Amino acid sequence: MSCAPCAVTPAMQAGITDRVWTLDELMDTLLAEEEGAAPEAKPLTYREPSARARALPGGRGFLRLVTEPTPALKQRRRSEPPPPASPV
């Protein structure tokens, strides 16, 4: 089974392989791999707020207080408003 429309796959472009693999080849390779070590559990850490913030109950984090518009909102205000929709 060939893959005529995809002459170069992302894996080929990245230099991982030099050909298009069949599904059987891919599954055989994946199933032949040894099982890796289980991930190590790490405690969650909360970031300290970089702007004004209010702590959430129970130490679950913080809620950032927005005192001025974000850059995206400032840009939107400067642009022209969209034209009104025409009645149908």
Task: Return the pLDDT at 86.
Answer: 75
Task: Return the pLDDT at 39.
Answer: 92
Task: Name every residue whose Cβ is closer than 8 Å to that of residue 9 and which is 6 or more positions away in sequence.
Answer: 3, 17, 20
**In terms of pTM, does the model score above 0.75?**
no
Query: Amino acid letter at 66?
Result: V
Are 64 and 51 spatial neighbours (Cβ–Cβ below 8 Å)?
yes
End-to-end Cα spacing for the chain: 52
Measured between alpha carbons, how far is residue 28 from residues 17, 23, 54, 88 in Å? 16, 9, 53, 59
> Phi first, then psi: what are they for 44, rounded to 5°?
-70, 140
Higher per-residue confidence, 7 vs 27: 27
66-84 pLDDT, tens digit per residue, is: 777 777 777 665 556 667 7
15-58 pLDDT, tens digit per residue, is: 999 999 999 999 999 999 888 899 999 998 777 777 788 888 88
